[in-house]
Structure 1
Amino acid sequence: MTDSANQGIKTVLHPVSDLAAAKPVYSALLGVPPLADEPYYVGFEVAGQHIGLVPGGAQQGMTAPVAYWQVPDIEAKLAEVTAAGAVVKEPAHDVGGGRLVATVTDPDGNVLGLLQDP
């Protein structure tokens, strides 16, 4: 395994237009209350996965849920996938606590997320 190998999909973010309306639906679906509950983001942990709700996601270019592949070195993986033909949509940036995220698009325009934990 190389340093840029992925560790699977562990995070899926869903764009929502009404966070207050979406939160109880996802709580009922997942069977757990949110661990993170802020006006800008609601996050759940279940079965080893993180499910997040992003209010106003559509205005940020999210038109569908985005799966985030867990990688140990986000810059190395970005270089690898762009060399293979992906296009950077959102460069790597810190979303808090040292967690880095980035998105790319594949040749068909599908959005793929990358996530590196500190």
Structure 2
Amino acid sequence: MNNPITLRGLSTISFWAADLEAAKKWYTELFGFKPYFERPGYFEFRLGDTQAELGVIDSRYSPTRSAASPAGTIVYWHVDDVKATFEKLLTMGATTYEEPVERGPGFVTATVVDPFGNILGIMYNAHYLEVLESLKKS
């Protein structure tokens, strides 16, 4: 059966920052390590179980139709403790976009706006853990 996969997985999630050096410092503190890749106007971290990329780009290069305030699609990163992660983000200067909400058994979400205007979603997702476990078995 010929069934091509069109979306194979997240490659890079892009955030924007007018003060790139401040953003690099903030995200380095959050993650506990420095970006693995840098070039003028851009840096990247590899994160989590699948080493997904979070790139931060100088906002001068943002698409001309970008929203001026936090808006759009929210990417949720799995975390083991939503409440603790949410509180840590707030103490680091992020602001509440949506407080932690239980969406059903095994699913809790929250969102903050980082100091640079990007929406950062965090989530405890039971299905994420099930998929990880199945990948380990294969």
Give the TM interval when normalised to the shorter protein: 0.3 to 0.5
Higher relative contact order (CA 8 A, sep 6+): 1
| Structure possessing the higher radius of gyration over alpha carbons | 2
Larger helix percent: 2
Larger strand percent: 1
TM-score by length of 1: 0.46
